[in-house]
Amino acid sequence: MSDTEDTETSSSSSSSSESDSNSSGDEDERAKKLRRIALAKRRAEKRKKKQEADQGAVVNSDAQVITTQPVVFTQGAWVRPDLCGLCFDSLMCYACWCTPCARAEVAEMMGGSYAGAFLFCMFFPCFAFCTLCSERDRIRMRFNIPKTDGCCTVMCCNTCVMAQHMYQLRAVRVVPQYPPAFYY
């Protein structure tokens, strides 16, 4: 009987040690599974934050979502849209009788050099026409003004165009945000 008891006790002790090792193995498996689940949750949260950031939302560490507001596009217009209406205007007279001074004033308001523009207009009037076209395009771009006329308007009535530019730039008291197209 002692042999049977020894075998039974040894088998019971070996089965209890196996169950202990199995229970510790099960605990290890559960811990690994929990770690994998936690890692998957963290990855999902990171993906969600990245998607929100890509969609224009900023996520704070306090889990507050701040969405960015859409930018509204407003179409601009000339302050004095009628070029022919400027014919008997004081700025028109100034632009007509002292064209280099008017061009220099417009150039200065756009961030250029007064003296450079004055001399350029004085000694190279043909090239001054080209710079007036580029100034007109830059003013349109700056104030979102649609292009309704071309270089023909500038060529036929450049004093009216200069007066219109001066009205536009004086009305908004423009601060130069970029260097001039041509350095006079």
Q: Looking at the structure, do residues 97 and 24 belong to the same domain, yes or no?
A: no
pLDDT at 9: 47
**pLDDT-derived band of residue 70, with 50, 70 and 90 as boundaries?**
low
Q: Which of 170, 13, 177, 180 is nearest to 79 (CA)?
A: 170
Q: Looking at the structure, do residues 88 and 168 belong to the same domain, yes or no?
A: yes
Q: Looking at the structure, do residues 157 and 88 belong to the same domain, yes or no?
A: yes
CB 171, CB 79: distance < 8 Å: yes
**Considering the domain boundaries, does residue 179 fall inside one?**
no
**Considering the domain boundaries, does residue 58 fall inside one?**
yes
Q: Stretch 21-38: mean pLDDT, rounded?
A: 79
**pLDDT-derived band of residue 184, with 50, 70 and 90 as boundaries?**
very low
Instruction: Please list, in sequence order, all residues whose beta carbon lies within 8 angstroms of the beta carbon of residue 128, skipping any fewer than 6 positions away.
Output: 103, 120, 121
Higher pLDDT, 137 or 53: 137
Higher pLDDT, 101 or 71: 101
Q: Looking at the structure, do residues 90 and 156 belong to the same domain, yes or no?
A: yes
Q: Stretch 42-55: mean pLDDT, rounded?
A: 81
- The residue type of 69 is Q
Q: Looking at the structure, do residues 92 and 163 belong to the same domain, yes or no?
A: yes
Supply the range of the domain harboring residue 47.
2-67
For residue 111, the Cα-to-chain-centroid distance in whole angstroms is 22
Q: How many domains does the chain have?
A: 2
**pTM of the model as a whole:** 0.53
Q: What percent of the chain has pLDDT over 90?
A: 1
**Considering the domain boundaries, does residue 184 fall inside one?**
no
**Considering the domain boundaries, does residue 177 fall inside one?**
no
Residue 93, pLDDT > 60, answer yes
